[in-house]
Structure 1
Protein backbone atom coordinates (compact mmCIF):
# COMPACT_ATOMS: atom_id res chain seq x y z
CA UNK A 1 0.00 0.00 0.00
CA UNK A 2 1.22 3.52 -0.65
CA UNK A 3 2.39 5.80 2.10
CA UNK A 4 3.72 4.70 5.42
CA UNK A 5 3.38 1.05 6.40
CA UNK A 6 1.67 -0.14 9.56
CA UNK A 7 0.69 -3.49 11.03
CA UNK A 8 -2.19 -1.85 12.93
CA UNK A 9 -5.28 -1.56 10.73
CA UNK A 10 -6.62 1.26 12.90
CA UNK A 11 -3.83 3.63 11.82
CA UNK A 12 -4.08 3.18 8.06
CA UNK A 13 -4.54 6.42 6.18
CA UNK A 14 -7.51 6.82 3.82
CA UNK A 15 -5.04 6.56 0.93
CA UNK A 16 -3.73 3.25 2.25
CA UNK A 17 -7.25 1.91 2.73
CA UNK A 18 -8.61 2.92 -0.67
CA UNK A 19 -5.79 2.38 -3.16
CA UNK A 20 -5.28 -1.41 -3.23
CA UNK A 21 -5.77 -2.71 -6.75
CA UNK A 22 -7.06 -6.05 -5.47
CA UNK A 23 -10.81 -5.78 -4.78
CA UNK A 24 -10.67 -8.29 -1.92
CA UNK A 25 -7.95 -6.27 -0.17
CA UNK A 26 -9.91 -3.07 -0.74
CA UNK A 27 -13.02 -4.64 0.81
CA UNK A 28 -10.99 -5.85 3.78
CA UNK A 29 -9.58 -2.36 4.28
CA UNK A 30 -13.11 -0.95 4.42
CA UNK A 31 -14.46 -3.67 6.74
CA UNK A 32 -11.67 -2.96 9.24
CA UNK A 33 -12.45 0.77 9.53
CA UNK A 34 -12.52 1.15 13.32
CA UNK A 35 -14.59 4.32 13.83
CA UNK A 36 -16.83 6.95 12.26
CA UNK A 37 -14.03 9.52 12.04
CA UNK A 38 -11.95 7.15 9.91
CA UNK A 39 -14.99 6.37 7.74
CA UNK A 40 -15.57 10.09 7.17
CA UNK A 41 -11.92 10.62 6.27
CA UNK A 42 -12.13 7.75 3.78
CA UNK A 43 -15.28 9.20 2.19
CA UNK A 44 -13.58 12.58 1.87
CA UNK A 45 -10.51 10.97 0.31
CA UNK A 46 -12.60 8.92 -2.11
CA UNK A 47 -14.68 11.96 -3.13
CA UNK A 48 -11.54 14.00 -3.77
CA UNK A 49 -9.56 11.37 -5.64
CA UNK A 50 -11.53 8.65 -7.38
CA UNK A 51 -15.20 9.11 -6.52
CA UNK A 52 -16.09 5.45 -7.20
CA UNK A 53 -19.77 4.91 -6.44
CA UNK A 54 -19.41 1.25 -5.32
CA UNK A 55 -16.66 2.22 -2.87
CA UNK A 56 -18.71 5.12 -1.51
CA UNK A 57 -21.66 2.73 -0.98
CA UNK A 58 -19.42 0.32 0.94
CA UNK A 59 -18.10 3.17 3.06
CA UNK A 60 -21.67 4.29 3.81
CA UNK A 61 -22.57 0.74 4.78
CA UNK A 62 -19.55 0.52 7.11
CA UNK A 63 -20.43 3.88 8.69
CA UNK A 64 -23.96 2.60 9.32
CA UNK A 65 -22.56 -0.56 10.94
CA UNK A 66 -20.33 1.55 13.17
CA UNK A 67 -23.26 3.72 14.25
CA UNK A 68 -25.31 0.60 15.03
CA UNK A 69 -22.46 -0.77 17.18
CA UNK A 70 -22.59 2.26 19.49
Structure 2
Protein backbone atom coordinates (compact mmCIF):
# COMPACT_ATOMS: atom_id res chain seq x y z
CA UNK A 1 0.00 0.00 0.00
CA UNK A 2 1.33 3.43 -0.93
CA UNK A 3 1.74 6.35 1.46
CA UNK A 4 -1.01 8.28 -0.32
CA UNK A 5 -3.44 5.42 0.27
CA UNK A 6 -2.50 5.31 3.93
CA UNK A 7 -2.98 9.06 4.25
CA UNK A 8 -6.44 8.81 2.66
CA UNK A 9 -7.68 6.34 5.27
CA UNK A 10 -10.35 7.64 7.60
CA UNK A 11 -11.01 6.86 11.24
CA UNK A 12 -12.63 3.52 10.28
CA UNK A 13 -9.43 2.46 8.57
CA UNK A 14 -10.92 2.27 5.07
CA UNK A 15 -9.59 4.13 2.05
CA UNK A 16 -12.01 5.52 -0.56
CA UNK A 17 -10.98 2.67 -2.88
CA UNK A 18 -11.88 0.10 -0.25
CA UNK A 19 -15.28 1.75 0.28
CA UNK A 20 -16.17 2.15 -3.39
CA UNK A 21 -14.57 -0.82 -5.17
CA UNK A 22 -15.90 -3.95 -3.40
CA UNK A 23 -17.19 -6.77 -5.60
CA UNK A 24 -20.87 -6.14 -4.91
CA UNK A 25 -23.26 -3.25 -4.37
CA UNK A 26 -24.21 -4.26 -0.82
CA UNK A 27 -20.63 -3.73 0.31
CA UNK A 28 -20.46 -0.40 -1.52
CA UNK A 29 -23.65 0.68 0.26
CA UNK A 30 -22.18 -0.40 3.60
CA UNK A 31 -19.03 1.57 2.85
CA UNK A 32 -21.07 4.70 2.18
CA UNK A 33 -23.41 4.30 5.17
CA UNK A 34 -20.44 4.02 7.52
CA UNK A 35 -19.06 7.42 6.47
CA UNK A 36 -19.44 9.62 9.55
CA UNK A 37 -17.60 12.81 8.59
CA UNK A 38 -17.50 15.22 5.68
CA UNK A 39 -13.74 14.86 5.19
CA UNK A 40 -14.10 11.14 4.45
CA UNK A 41 -17.10 11.80 2.25
CA UNK A 42 -15.19 14.40 0.22
CA UNK A 43 -12.31 11.96 -0.22
CA UNK A 44 -14.74 9.35 -1.53
CA UNK A 45 -16.36 11.82 -3.95
CA UNK A 46 -12.92 12.85 -5.20
CA UNK A 47 -11.94 9.20 -5.64
CA UNK A 48 -15.13 8.39 -7.53
CA UNK A 49 -14.76 11.45 -9.77
CA UNK A 50 -11.19 10.46 -10.60
CA UNK A 51 -11.77 6.75 -11.11
CA UNK A 52 -15.32 5.67 -11.78
CA UNK A 53 -17.65 8.60 -12.20
CA UNK A 54 -20.56 6.23 -11.58
CA UNK A 55 -23.69 8.35 -11.31
CA UNK A 56 -25.42 5.96 -8.92
CA UNK A 57 -22.46 5.98 -6.50
CA UNK A 58 -22.13 9.77 -6.67
CA UNK A 59 -25.87 10.06 -5.98
CA UNK A 60 -25.53 7.84 -2.89
CA UNK A 61 -22.59 9.94 -1.69
CA UNK A 62 -24.67 13.09 -2.20
CA UNK A 63 -27.51 11.56 -0.18
CA UNK A 64 -25.06 10.66 2.59
CA UNK A 65 -23.73 14.25 2.59
CA UNK A 66 -27.30 15.51 3.10
CA UNK A 67 -27.75 13.08 5.99
CA UNK A 68 -24.50 14.23 7.62
CA UNK A 69 -25.48 17.87 7.24
CA UNK A 70 -28.88 17.25 8.84
CA UNK A 71 -27.21 15.43 11.75
CA UNK A 72 -25.05 18.50 12.42
CA UNK A 73 -28.03 20.84 12.79
TM-score bin, normalised by smaller chain = 0.7 to 0.9
**Which residue in 1 is equivalent to 2:50?**
48
Indicate the SS of the match to 1:10: coil
CA RMSD of aligned residues (A): 1.8
**Which residue in 1 is equivalent to 2:31?**
29
**Which residue in 2 is equivalent to 1:59?**
61
Provide the C-alpha distance between the structure 2 equivalents of 1:9 and 1:33, rounded to a whole number of angstroms.
9
Structure 1 unaligned blocks of 5 or more: none
**Which residue in 2 is equivalent to 1:16?**
18
Give TM-score scaled by structure 2 length: 0.81
Q: CA deviation at 1:59?
A: 0.2
Q: CA deviation at 1:9?
A: 6.9
Give TM-score scaled by structure 1 length: 0.84
Higher Cα Rg, which structure? 2
